[in-house]
Amino acid sequence: MAAVRFPRFRHPAQLVMAGFAAVITVGTALLMLPASKAGPGSASFLESLFTATSATCLTGLVVVDTPVYWSSFGHIVILGLIQLGGFGILTFATVLIVLLSRRIGLRTRLNAAVETKAIGLGDMRSIVLGVIRASLLIEGLVAAVLVERFATRYEMPWPQALWHGVFHSVSAFNNAGFALHSDSLMRFVTDPVVSLPIVFASIVGGLGFPVLYELRRRFTKPNGWSMHTKIVVWASGVFLLGGAAFVTAVEWSNPATLGPLNVPGKLLAGFFQGTMPRSAGFNTVDIAEMNTATWLGMDILMFIGGASAGTAGGIKVTTFAVLFFVIYAEVRGESAVNIFNRRLHGDVQRQALTVVLLSVAAVTTATVAFMVSTTFTLDQSLFEVISAFCTVGLSTGITADLPDPHQFLLVILMFIGRLGPVTVASALALRSRRRMYELPEERPIIG
């Protein structure tokens, strides 16, 4: 009897892509079961595939009404896919950092270990278990707050409050954006006890385990943080506060969004909605009724996304920050790019540029496809494409109305957007090619 051969993966990124594809396949099959659908019959293949991909890739876009269309079993399947997707991204990205650290010289590794006290190069098993423990701890804390609020303020039966609290906590920490209400979280627009824990969970999940690990150990000593942690903390703070201020200012008088609220309500709703484009995907106001200027600003925020090695999507704030400092150094005429008193390696600059240009190409191509074959406007098409590719989950309300080929295109975008930048970056960072000669140098005219 011939031995069974399993596929060999030459690169860690291939393994994680195969794993995510397998989870999506199993999730699609489970959602196609009659037990997963609330009504008679069973879900179609595309509805199941779209929902399974959106949950596993931590996106939140839906083509059916999640709380109405799916049964309790279906909701459990969706929650399981979200949790598996979150564990997969956090674990792979964290282990990838350890693998990258093995490729640098011993002296550099020792200096970095002494200076940052960050994740070491030891047991992979302890790293993976650390990711799982941290995830469950944060999800548990947020769930406890939500459960108590749902039961006491909104008079939910305790079993229902427990289920809603756990589901929304897991969805928030993993930046998935799935909710058990047809209006997402619009009914809680002025309730800080619901809104703020959701925001907290999405921000913490988007920071990434390496940053959380370092902050836990050296929170009071920011001068000793690694370059990565400094970039993530400062850039995340700028985009979170800047996004909240932008959304609040532009929507302040909009009668369909923030206009009817009092001042505290406007500030809370603006802060909540301004933080969601980093990849969380919930909404407490109607996205479809927002000003087009707000959509454009949210397009930018969604495209940048959250931090590397976290559950957030986008090109990542670290990628954006690297390119910002490259431009800053070039404008100042400096020969090297320096960030927080450290020189940036040239390979990182090329990797950041590659990720950004490939992402721009994907978004542009898909948007053009939407424009030439649907009746939706450029604003709506661009918003939908960026939301899918950057795994955000916010929508102007057109997802369910898209033709089947365009929904399938969003499935591809969600898969590529969740794993594409990670696999491209890791492939570039882990490869090793040494040229034994150098070609003659020449400079083309730029600009």
pLDDT digits 0-9 by tens, 387-406: 999 999 999 999 999 999 99
Which residues, including other chains, have CB under 8 Å from residue 76's CB and lie 6 or more apart? none
Q: How far apart are CA 446 and CA 41, in angstroms?
A: 61
Q: Is residue 396 part of a domain?
A: yes
On the question of pLDDT at 2 being above 70, the answer is no
70 three-state secondary structure = strand
Alpha-carbon gap, residue 263 to 259, rounded angstroms: 9
Q: How many domains does the chain fold into? A: 1
Q: Determine, yes or no, domain membership for 444.
A: no
Helix (H, G, I), strand (E, B) or coil at 177: coil
pLDDT at residue 10 tops 70: no
Of residues 420 and 407, more confidently modeled: 407
Looking at residue 99, its pLDDT comes to 53
Domain containing 224 equals 12-430
> pLDDT tens-digit profile of 333-371?
888 888 888 888 877 888 888 889 989 999 999 999 999
pLDDT recorded at residue 1 = 47
Residue 437 in any domain: the answer is no
Q: Does residue 120 register a pLDDT over 80?
A: no
SS3 136: helix
| 408, part of any domain | yes
Residue 21 near residue 412, CB atoms below 8 Å? no
- 31/70 Cα distance (integer angstroms): 8
Q: What pLDDT sits at residue 121?
A: 45
410: confidence class by pLDDT, cuts 50, 70, 90: very high
The answer as to whether 102 is a domain residue is yes
Phi, psi for 343 (deg, rounded to 5): -85, 135
Does residue 194 lie in a domain region?
yes
Over residues 49-80, the pLDDT tens digits come to 999 999 999 999 999 999 999 999 999 999 99
Q: Is the residue at 358 inside a domain? A: yes
Q: What pLDDT is recorded for position 425? A: 56
Q: Is the pLDDT score of 171 beyond 90?
A: yes
Q: For residues 139 and 433, which has the higher predicted lDDT (pLDDT)?
A: 139
Contacts of 146 (CB under 8 A, 6+ apart): 161, 164, 165, 168, 169, 194, 197, 198
100 domain-assigned: yes
pLDDT at 115: 34
pLDDT band at 13 (very low <50, low <70, confident <90, very high): low
Using DSSP's 3-state secondary structure scheme, residue 424 falls into helix
**Mean pLDDT taken over the chain:** 86
pLDDT on residue 117: 37
Give CA–CA dist 65/63, Å, rounded: 7
Q: Transcribe 360-378 into DSSP letters.
A: HHHHHHHHHHHHHHSS--H
pLDDT value for 186: 96
Residue percentage of the chain with pLDDT more than 70: 83
Model confidence band, residue 110 (pLDDT cutoffs 50, 70, 90): very low
